[in-house]
Structure 1
Amino acid sequence: MSKEIYSLDCRECHRRTRHEELASFSEESDPYDYHDMTSWMIVKCQGCFSHAFLKKYDDYEAYYEDDNGEINHNVEFTTYPPVIAKHRPISNTFNLPIMVRNIYIQTLETLGIKSYLIASIGLRATVEAVCKDLNIPGRNLEVRINNLQKNGHISNTDKKMLHAIRFLGNDAAHDIIEPKKADILIALDIIEHMLNSIYILREKTKNLETIIDDYNSFLKLLEKLSMEFTGAETINITTLLSKKTRLIEGKKDEFIEKFNRDLLEGKINFLNYEKTEEINDRDIFLFSIKAR
């Protein structure tokens, strides 16, 4: 006996695929009362071979006419774990803070069962959780989103999109307005873009060179370079930086001026000030690297 094949959304393939029925159990009502049947099945995707639980409900007393003019009874399918059709969730959720990850996953589960009103509140809560994790100040979410952008975590365009999610969540929580499916899926894209940008990509690219725009990061770079340096005993900042100078082009003069002051005052704990030489009418500060 051939097994039933169902076309279902697969949580692993992230698209609709053929699923084979492996086992099933059905309960059918008395046709003389109200004729319907509920079936529970274990199914397996024929693409990735992942398993799922399927509930099929046949309502034999509710009919519709299809595009070919044929009369069919209503059939409803529910899969578990819930699946958001054609959606590929963030895979590296282990890079997310626990609080952010939990809210994000719970929101996905809510979307999977098509509870769009609750999901919109979950998306708003995800923004709140990110602000809390990053210690973003503000008396309310509106201010915190603005500060999220001012602190350099998101772009101005991202800020406007997060405000859209704030409105969506506020409408759901305060006015009990359920968003449209298309709108909630766009909001999900915005949230996942934010999480990818703030957490996932930063973790992936942490070893890639990029510009340095704050003095503390500049000092960390110098300390790293000093540990790797194998040249002369007495050097200047240009020699130590070498090609890494490109990382501070926009802040070079500001950083070096402050570095020279800190060096003279003995605040650079991994370098020793040695002397100052005048070259081309400029004071060049020479230093040595402290033994470790």
Structure 2
Amino acid sequence: MEDKYFCRKCKGPRNHKSLFEKKLTGGDVHDYFQWLEKYITIECLGCETISFLKIYGDTEMVWHDHEGNPEYQFDEDVFPLYLEKGDELKYQHYLPDKIRGIYSETISAFKSNSYILTAGGLRAIIEALCNHLKIKKDNLSNRIDLLHKKGHLTLSESKRLHSIRFLGNDALHEIEKPKKDHLYLLLELINHLLSNLFINDKIIKGKVDTIIDTYEEFIRLVKSKITEELIGKELTLSELIDKAKRLIPKVELPKFEKQLIEDLKAKKIDYIELKKENDNVGTYKILKEPSMFNFGIK
């Protein structure tokens, strides 16, 4: 193929080869108007990514050079649609449902070159974020400020979100089409914000040590420490979790152990048994290896 086409993986125009091609032609009954469509499956010669190319042209899509010779033009579209710069978020399944839905629609609008809708979508993501974080009162300007005051964002992050609010307002209220490069910058801000709030902690859990500050995470830790070699042994909680104790804030550990003892007495846990208890500090007998799957815990 002579022309280069955009490769969504290489992030730029690349040479491709044709894997399959289908050509269609047609026109009116007098052949005053004729059209041509080509549908081509193409493969990047660099990374071997597969795309779909649609080429369309007709007799109205023509201009003439200074000598009067006709030059026909063709529309070329590559699918799946793509972002020329930057990337959409990986691990979008970690986003809250409503935020994920708006984010997905915004990305689709951007890929379709619908820039006014993209700007409105970026603004709507902030609205959805405020709703999710229970900041529902007042106008968006004050809600963005509250994201910082309530500790969800740094002051710098909060100020950057106002840029998205300004762009979204201009697009929706003044029907002012934003520049593509500006949208890419603001998408990067949104990606950074959503990654920090909802994604990064979940990606690194289980891969590097992170703070354990919920009872559900504490139970997962306890389960992970029980091996076949420990069955039948009696241990304190400190002996069982060993060095991982450092991951639990000191003020939280007594609360977690108290809840653990309550769950054992209520027969909610069957892989360890409470042998001794003194002021919510216990000694536990390991009964069996627990199942690590609990679909009720997210």
TM range (shorter): 0.5 to 0.7
* Cα offsets for 1:237-285 (capped at 9, x unmatched): 866764335335xx63x557xx48x96xx9962576526xxxxxxxxx8
Change (3 A) 1:238 1:120: same
Percent identity reads: 26
Map 1:35-50 to 2 at 5 A. 39-47=37-45, 48-50=48-50
SS of the equivalent of 1:42 reads: strand
Change (3 A) 1:238 1:82: closer
Distance between the aligned counterparts of 1:46 and 1:226, measured in 2?
Answer: 47
Map 1:248-263 to 2 at 5 A. 248=248, 252=250, 254-255=251-252, 259=254
SS of the equivalent of 1:6 reads: coil
**1:234–1:286 contact (8 Å) kept in structure 2:** no
Q: Aligned partner of 2:15: which letter?
A: R
**2:233–2:285 contact (8 Å) kept in structure 1:** no
Map 1:1-292 to 2 at 5 A. 4-21=1-18, 22-26=21-25, 39-47=37-45, 48-57=48-57, 59-61=61-63, 75-132=74-131, 134-139=132-137, 140-150=139-149, 152-207=151-206, 208-212=208-212, 217=214, 221=218, 224-225=221-222, 228=225, 242-248=242-248, 252=250, 254-255=251-252, 259=254, 269=262, 273-274=277-278, 287-289=282-284
Distance between the aligned counterparts of 2:90 and 2:96, measured in 1?
Answer: 14
**2:7–2:44 contact (8 Å) kept in structure 1:** no
Change (3 A) 1:148 1:61: same
Pairwise CA RMSD? 4.2
Question: How far did residue 108 of structure 1 move?
Answer: 1.9
**2:122–2:190 contact (8 Å) kept in structure 1:** yes
Distance between the aligned counterparts of 1:287 and 1:182, measured in 2?
Answer: 60
Change (3 A) 1:182 1:286: closer
Question: How far did residue 77 of structure 1 move?
Answer: 2.6
Gaps of 5+ in 1: 65-70, 276-284
SS of the equivalent of 1:183 reads: helix
**1:136–1:144 contact (8 Å) kept in structure 2:** no
Question: How far did residue 119 of structure 1 move?
Answer: 0.8
Distance between the aligned counterparts of 1:202 and 1:126, measured in 2?
Answer: 20
Distance between the aligned counterparts of 2:222 and 2:94, measured in 1?
Answer: 28
Distance between the aligned counterparts of 2:223 and 2:22, measured in 1?
Answer: 66
Gaps of 5+ in 2: 265-273, 288-298
